[in-house]
Amino acid sequence: PVEQPEPDPSKKTLVVLGTGWGSVSLLKKLDTENYNVVVISPRNYFLFTPLLPSCTTGTIEHRSIMEPIRNFLRHKGAAVKFYEAEATKIDYEKKVIYINDDSEIKGAVSQTEVPFDMLVVGVGAENATFGIPGVKEHGCFLKEVNDAQRIRKRIMDCCETATFKDQSPEEVKRLLHMVVVGGGPTGVEFAGELQDFFENDLKKWIPEIASNFRVTLVEALPSVLPMFSKNLIDYTEQTFKEETIEIRNKTMVKNVTEQYIEAEYTNAAGEKVLERIPYGLLVWATGNAVRPVVRDLMGQIPAQKDSRRGLAVNEYLVVKGTENVWAVGDCAVANYAPTAQVAAQEGAFLARLFNQMAKTEEFETELATLSEKQGTAPNKDSRDEVFAQIKDVQKRLRRVKQMGPFEYSHQGSLAYIGSEKAVADISWLTGNLATGGQLTYFFWRSAYLSMCFSTRNRVLVFMDWMKSYIFGRDVSRE
Ligand code: FAD
Ligand code: NAD
């Protein structure tokens, strides 16, 4: 095995937290020769989240959308250190990060600290629960691989338990009621995938459940997918109706117990009603909340005191109130939606910025050396020669320093809505194209296939699609 070299004392230490969309996009484009790069994340892989809903039903196997971080770090020009650990605290004054190995196997050292000169925070967000009682205990989230695995297991558990001998009709109904809370793209895509699973496979393998299996989507706002165009919202709601997914708009979940949720809505008479909705599986997809490590950092920086949704950053993604801390993705507040698209563009921007910063330093050192040389030049000819060199370096330095601020370029929004249909709001030349249906579904498939992290992922996802198409999804409960 190749020994990792010690950090080069002449270079700054750049610590990158997280291995999600923002951090990985930065690492992909970063010239790691310029810094001592340290990556810290509890996850030693990148996860292609747009296809995660497909893993809940086995349309795609989760490993097909995971790419080991070691795979691509080893191709970088200079060694990058990776620690599989969670950053538990960032001490901004001391320029130190406290890390904790939270995995099952622990060595003699499982907690330590990592110093930094420059820091990029790309830790994403956690699941919002709004403090609603029972959500954490009884609901399933859909953010990470283990969430998708847990949901997949539970769907099958509900089906098998519902067919258990002597189960009462009422209990069968409850067990086969799949409730999704949150009508954003996560909730909508999951509901669509689940209904597909039922229509294409479950109904065939377990015909006894056919008359009782139901999917309900609960949304507090007047419609699902509020970020999409009005006609696409209508199209989604109409498609769900045809797929027999019930949408309960303007219904706010207030409490969750092991077997039912309590949701509030306003009835025709204008009265508020609290309804008990029994469920077998509850998937909670109500968006993002700030991670504790980020909240703690915000508390250390006076300029962050008014920020609520994450680290407020300036147009160069510098965390406001700091000089050496940057933030990307869902943990940063830069007035863009918390999406993979934004995080990836922010990461790529930071890579360019850091590459340019290193070049700037290189040119400035070169200029200092040349000025010295000019002062000690023996004659006019050699002084002129050095002068020409200085002019050239100055020109290159000006070009490097000209880097503009981060500008997000929105390529569009895409969501799968079940029964081989998708909706897309695409930025098209000067206008916007809002489209939905089967053709959009093929576009959705090819777009996500092309966006997969690696050729390996692309091949695996394609093979999974073929496998599900030919043999159906696997209904064994692992
Ligand atoms: P993440 O990708 O969440 O990565 C955060 C990283 O930080 C992870 O590696 C995590 O392990 C690590 N981490 C967490 N805590 C710590 C800590 N304390 N210390 C160190 N590391 C830590 N967006 C789209 O644009 N299109 C889509 O189709 C789409 N589909 C989605 C589907 C689903 C099911 C979900 C959940 C999200 C989807 N998104 C989509 C949103 C998108 O995934 C996020 O906006 C994106 O992941 C944000 O990137 P990020 O780098 O900020 O965070
Ligand atoms: P979201 O924030 O987009 O939607 C959450 C929904 O939950 C909201 O509509 C909210 O009104 C509802 N809600 C909140 N509390 C509720 C309650 N108590 N009862 C009922 N409803 C409640 O969350 P998301 O869907 O997880 O998406 C998170 C981010 O990831 C978004 O920026 C989204 O655009 C992005 N994303 C994109 C895609 C895609 O482009 N295909 C897919 C998934 C996620």
Give the domain ranges of the chain: 13-125+290-357, 135-288+409-471
Residues 93 and 323: beta-carbon distance below 8 Å: no
Asked whether the domain spanning 135-288+409-471 has the same topology as the one spanning 13-125+290-357, the reply is yes
**Sign of the CA dihedral with 306 first, then 309, 312, and 318 last:** positive
| Whole-number percent of the chain with pLDDT over 70 | 99
Give CATH for domain 13-125+290-357: 3.50.50.100
What pLDDT does residue 375 have? 86
The residue nearest atom 27 of ligand 1, judged by CA position, is 50
Cβ-in-10-Å burial (0-12, 13-18, 19+) of 391 comes to exposed
Tell me if 329 CB under 6 Å of ligand 1.
yes
| Pocket probe mutation, ligand 1, options 15, 16, 17, 21, max atoms within 8 Å of Cβ | 21
Q: What is the ipTM of this complex?
A: 0.99
Q: What is the topology classification, in CATH, of domain 135-288+409-471?
A: FAD/NAD(P)-binding domain (3.50.50)
Instruction: Say if strands 118-121 and 13-17 run parallel, antiparallel, or are unpaired.
Output: parallel
Smallest Cα–Cα separation from 127: which of 159, 150, 106? 150
> What are 337-362's pLDDT values in tens digits?
999 999 999 999 999 999 999 999 88
Smallest Cα–Cα separation from 194: which of 240, 133, 136, 250? 240
How much distance in Å is there from the Cα of 305 to the middle of ligand 2? 26
pLDDT at 3 over 80: no
**Sign of the CA dihedral with 27 first, then 428, 434, and 419 last:** negative
The set of protein residues with a Cβ atom below 6 angstroms from ligand 2 is 50, 130, 132, 181-187, 189, 218-221, 226-227, 252-253, 285-288, 337-339, 413-415
> Which ligand number lies closest to the CA of residue 222?
2
> What are 77-128's pLDDT values in tens digits?
888 999 999 999 999 999 999 999 999 999 999 999 999 999 999 999 999 9
Instruction: Return the SS3 of 283.
Output: strand
